[in-house]
Structure 1
């Protein structure tokens, strides 16, 4: 586990540095973006100095890391707002969207994968067809279709906007239903296919035949032994899905006008607000690393052989 933590820290540093180099490579371009196209060369030069962009890139990155380690992610170049304050209202929205989708993905993919592997026949063919279809159709296309069908045509759910849970549980659930479904379809399609394959491979192993020969009930064999041994590949896919969901949230939040990290990232990237973008990248990396570590812990708990 210590090695995994060290690798996670290394990944965090490498990805942050690469992003930092890509975003902070042109100091004068950043300064001109803040001041506007009509800014004079003298004012651009002064702004570069004010923002500290005239220092060596490694010095800038070391300074940013040192401040980030204490929770100081800097200020927005455009509004002067603290990055952590800007993220404080955005991160919970995106995390809520991703966590709900991930939990539903885990339940539905297990049910569909087990049903396809155990029953076979038309059930297996339907699940495989839905898996291919769900993987092939982009999430934003599904989101737009859901808006037209369930928000505009039938008016079942609101088309856009977010309602905090403090303003009513029903309204909060309604505001998240379509975004969650839009993310859920693709993630379930991929995870269900992986669970199906893992369960089929486990069912063909010798210890399953031995358990059946001893008269152990099929339900006990399936839920006590087969699922536990099939959990590794499925949990790995769910960990990877968290990254895909965070990426998909950028488009989903734009379609449904959700005030999350995706919407903020899109706006900040268009403006060139580098501190905000770096803060979002850092939070995203941390979320993905935490999910992966939790996935590894879950695999180790379910399958003792994976602890070594």
Structure 2
């Protein structure tokens, strides 16, 4: 198991290096008039030139990248060009908000996918068709439209939740849960549809296997067979789909946080991109890749627990 974890960590480090390198080079080449954007249109040319020298923009891209990389390897992600604040401090103040939404979305996606997928596989008939059609329809609707519909129904019409805003958990647990409920639902509904289809297909395939008939002949009741054997053996493919969808959830969180005015990494990414704040964007990229690597490691460990053969792959 130790070698299994080590291989996954090394693969994650390699992925982190490649993505950060590519993003830095692309951002540096695409960013134009950064100093002018930061200072505003009223700044003089001398002020623009001075700021470019302070930020190191007068140096070649590879020189700037090497300086950033050597600092990043020591844990220093640099200083934001726009706010003159440590990138690490800025991200630390925002990541908890985004993680609360993403973790909630992942857990709700898994729960809905298991319930809907298992129900479709077990019941069959009209119930299966209704669940499948509903899943396809929900998956086809963009999450920002889902978010707007949720706001209209549950915030504006029913008044159960606030339309915008975020309450930290240290202020009020109840208010915090209320503030992230609609964003979590907006992200999870579409994702759950795709995973539910995978759970359904895997369970139908497993229920046709010989070991199920063997267990039935041994006298095990249907509930035990489904929940202790079929569902466990069907979880592997569903976990893979969930891991892939997590990347889409991160992208969706950028839009969802804007709609609900949540002060997470999403709104921070938009503002940093508009200003061409390369250090801050790179800090967000590093954080995002780390989250993806950690989730994939957790999924791999769950896969290894469900199926020991995975440890040898």
Into which bin does the TM-score normalised by the smaller protein fall? Answer: over 0.9
User: Which of the numbers 272, 275, 285 marks the counterpart of 2:279?
Assistant: 275
Q: In the alignment, what sits opposite 2:178?
A: 174
Map 1:59-208 onto structure 2 (within 5 A).
59-208=63-212
The offset of 1:194, in angstroms, is 0.8
Residue 264 (str. 1) matches residue 280 (str. 2): no
Q: Which has the higher contact order (CA 8 A, sep 6+)?
A: 2
Residue 212 (str. 1) matches residue 216 (str. 2): yes
* Matches of 1:64 and 1:134, distance apart in 2: 43
Q: What is the SS of the residue equivalent to 1:47?
A: helix
**In the superposition, relative to structure 1, how do residues 199 and 169 fare at CA in structure 2: closer, same or farther (>3 Å)?**
same
- Residues 34 and 275, structure 2, Cα contact 8 Å, conserved in 1: no
The offset of 1:131, in angstroms, is 1.3
CA deviation digits over 1:20-63, x for unaligned, max 9? 01111256622222233344444433322221123332232222
* Matches of 2:206 and 2:309, distance apart in 1: 15
User: Which of the numbers 224, 236, 239 marks the counterpart of 1:235?
Assistant: 239
CA deviation digits over 1:205-257, x for unaligned, max 9? 12112221222221221112112211110111111222111111101101100
- Residues 163 and 260, structure 2, Cα contact 8 Å, conserved in 1: yes
- Residues 27 and 53, structure 1, Cα contact 8 Å, conserved in 2: no
The offset of 1:90, in angstroms, is 0.7
CA deviation digits over 1:151-200, x for unaligned, max 9? 11221110000011111121111111111111111111111111111111
- Residues 212 and 225, structure 2, Cα contact 8 Å, conserved in 1: yes
* Matches of 1:73 and 1:31, distance apart in 2: 20
The offset of 1:295, in angstroms, is 0.3
The offset of 1:93, in angstroms, is 0.3
- Residues 194 and 233, structure 1, Cα contact 8 Å, conserved in 2: yes
After TM superposition, the structure 1 stretch with the greater mean CA deviation from structure 2, 161-170 or 212-221, is 212-221
* Matches of 1:70 and 1:297, distance apart in 2: 28
* Matches of 1:43 and 1:255, distance apart in 2: 36
**In the superposition, relative to structure 1, how do residues 268 and 27 fare at CA in structure 2: closer, same or farther (>3 Å)?**
closer
Q: What is the TM-score normalised by the length of structure 1?
A: 0.95
Residue 31 (str. 1) matches residue 35 (str. 2): yes
* Matches of 2:110 and 2:30, distance apart in 1: 43
The offset of 1:114, in angstroms, is 1.0
Q: What is the TM-score normalised by the length of structure 2?
A: 0.94
The answer for unaligned runs of 5 or more in structure 2 is none
Q: In the alignment, what sits opposite 2:21?
A: 17
- Residues 31 and 276, structure 2, Cα contact 8 Å, conserved in 1: no
* Matches of 1:238 and 1:28, distance apart in 2: 37
CA deviation digits over 1:81-124, x for unaligned, max 9? 11111111110000000101111111121111111111111221
Q: In the alignment, what sits opposite 1:44?
A: 48
Question: RMSD over aligned Cα, in angstroms?
Answer: 1.5
Q: What is the SS of the residue equivalent to 2:107?
A: helix
Q: How many equivalent pairs are there?
A: 308
Q: In the alignment, what sits opposite 2:306?
A: 302
